[in-house]
Amino acid sequence: MLDGTGQQPFRPVSPFAYYLSRLCEEFPGKFPTEIMAEMDRLPVGMLEEIIESRAYARAHAANAADVPDWQASPMRTRAKEIEHELAEEELEHG
């Protein structure tokens, strides 16, 4: 993710350069200048929200495919928690 928990660069780079490189990884085929233009055009945090949504969708799919291993990552655990929260809401509201 963009929080610095992924693979770190081989040599020190600025936090912004690393952040921009992660965005480029998430949106393949886009140049850094295109990503920067999107950062200026979209509401603050939108690119990050898209990335988090993709990560959630992957975790949800992984949980569906391999139910016993739902605690394999923090995102998969969170996806399971959200699934339970939605089920509880549905039961409460019929």
Average pLDDT per block of 10 residues along the chain, 94 residues long: 60 84 91 95 93 90 85 86 87 81
Sorted by sequence, the CB contacts under 8 Å of residue 50 that are 6+ apart come out as: 26
pLDDT in tens, 65-84: 888 887 888 888 888 888 88
**pTM of the shown model:** 0.64
Q: 3-state DSSP call for residue 71?
A: coil
Task: Give the pair of three-digit tokens for residue 12.
Answer: 């020190």
- What separation, in Å, do the N-terminal and C-terminal C-alpha atoms of the chain show? 36
Closest CA to 49 of 59, 64, 39: 39
**pLDDT at residue 40, rounded to an integer:** 95
**pLDDT at residue 28, rounded to an integer:** 92
| Domain residue extents for the chain | 9-41, 49-94
**pLDDT at residue 77, rounded to an integer:** 87
**pLDDT at residue 87, rounded to an integer:** 86
**pLDDT at residue 3, rounded to an integer:** 59
